[in-house]
Chains A and B, each alone.
Chain A
Amino acid sequence: MMSKEQCLNFCFLSLCALLALLALGLFLWPVLRLCADATALFLKGEPLLLSLGRSLFFSLRLLALVLLLVVPIAFLIASQSYRRAGRRGLRAALGVLSWLPAVFLGFFARLLFARVLGDGMPAAALTLFLFMLPFLTVRFEDALRAVPEPIRRAGKMLGATERSILFRLIAPRAFGALGRALVLCTERILGEATALLMLHGVAPEGNMLSLELYRLISLQREDSLLLALFLALILCALRLAASYRWDGSPLLASAPSADSTRKRS
């Protein structure tokens, strides 16, 4: 007999498979045509694929730089704040920051970073860092707080330091949720266009994928659809990966909230 949870998972996966088939049917033909057109253009010397490759390389470099900055700092803040009783103020501040419009952030970055650092990658990385820091911190904190409090208390009773409790007991148990937060962060960085557009506009070459798409569309090139599709597929794949429970627990099982685990304890 299947449990209710298994039934739900089965229905969800069936729905996903159906949608995937539908999407495949809808997209496959135009994609094949676009690929053929793009190959023909490339063979004729058109630099579409070159531009795509260049923007992909730029995006990955920027992504790596931003993650390198934002992950340790977000984890550090979350590791300090997840067990504090008076963390409501910090959480509220992070919430407000995470909902700041990208336009505002881009404008701020243009006033500050672009003047100091110029229009290059460091300014873009700092802008995206500011954009992602509250988002990632809140998600990391939620992931750490979802680990039942008795686990932390048991670690303390065994004479463990806070650091060793965090790295040896809490973080391994929160691994799935931390991974999901990281993938969501990656997806948001790759999909972000507004803040970067405000920062230094669209360069003739070396843009994030999202901006490169904008550039190609503004050039009124029909084959830019290929890039749009490529970007959409990457973002969809990342969003799907973020919804997967990496720790092997059922896909649709609701994660116990930190409050409920505290009450139980």
Chain B
Amino acid sequence: MPAALSVSNLDLRYGKKEILRDLSLEILPGHILALIGPEEGGKSSLLRALNRMADEEGASYCGNILLNGESIFLKDAVTLRRAVGMVPPTPVLFRGTVFDNIVAGLRLQGQRNGGELRRLAEGALAQMGLTEEYTPLLGERADSLPLPARQMVAFLRALALEPELLLLDEPSRSLDAAGVAQMEEALCRIKGRCTVLLATNTLQQAGRIADETALLINGRIVEYGETAELFSNPREKQTEDYLTGRYYERASLSL
């Protein structure tokens, strides 16, 4: 079941360093929200706050995040992460075969039934339309795969857990053009089955697949709304500057 997510007045700090400031947004179940913005703008930090991986790095929060109406801070972090999948920008695969990696999350959560594992792995492949391409690779060693395929395996591993919310942190950073197209097609296929938050530096990617888009600069949401509306008719000057590339010109001039 796709989850509804609501972030209200969220501040996030690492020690004295403020990363996110007074951040609020809402995502409807099954929608894809793209987070765009310059590097160090807070996109990855927001994703890590949503599955509380930021806790591991000593983050402190103010404000609230509701997942299906329940505060994530009142939930056990392990239980939360079972409902919220995440794909980091650089794939980290475990030892073993591609199959072992796809079902790694299920095994780590205590699933032992071989038939059930196979069914869930095949389900994830089918969901992403990768059955033909990846079924012959299931017995291959995962570390022998090229980087784009490793990223897809990391994606499949997160998807095999059937998450309610999927966090993708620049998933196409290590992909070539074909890989990006494959990833976007897969995202379109899973649309509606889980809510997706996609942090990306590629505006075109956000334009192609996201229902809503939010622009984050210096830990603040500058503008947030429907993707088509935000791209064609930005309300804020900063958004317009960012979309047209003038933001970077000004940033370099101010240096």
**Partner-B contacts on A (CB < 8 A):** 150-151, 153-161, 164-165, 168-169, 172-173
Contact = CB atoms under 8 A, between A and B. Distances in A.
B82 interface: yes
15 contacts: A150-B92, A151-B92, A151-B94, A153-B53, A156-B53, A158-B104, A158-B157, A158-B158, A159-B79, A159-B83, A160-B78, A164-B108, A164-B109, A165-B108, A169-B94
Contact of B56 (A153, A159, A169, A172): A153
Contacts of B92: 150-151, 153-154
- Which one of B83, B94, B157 has the greatest number of beta carbons of chain A within 10 Å? B94
Interface string B96-119: 000000001101111000000000
Contacts, number: 56
A159 B108 contact: yes
Interface in B140-189: 157-158, 161
Given A150-B92, A151-B92, A158 B109 contact: yes
B95 interface: yes
B108 A158 contact: yes
Contacts of B109: 158-160, 164
B53 A168 contact: no
Contacts of A168: 107-108
Contacts of B94: 151, 154, 169
Q: Which 8 A-B pairs have the closest CB atoms?
A: A159-B82, A158-B105, A160-B108, A159-B81, A154-B92, A150-B92, A157-B86, A164-B108
Nearest to B106: A158
A169 B86 contact: no
A155 B108 contact: yes
A157 B108 contact: no
B108 A169 contact: yes
B44 to A, nearest CB: 13
A168 B109 CA distance: 11
A159 to B, nearest CB: 4
B234 interface: no
Contacts of A173: 95
Contacts of B104: 158
B88 interface: yes
- Among B82, B83, B108, chain A packs the most CB atoms within 10 A around the CB of B108
B227 interface: no
B51 interface: yes
Contacts of B108: 155, 158-160, 164-165, 168-169
B110 to A, nearest CB: 7
Contacts of B82: 159
Nearest to B57: A153
Contacts of B157: 158
A157 B85 CA distance: 7
A158 B81 contact: yes
Nearest to B90: A150
Contacts of A169: 94, 108
Nearest to B81: A159
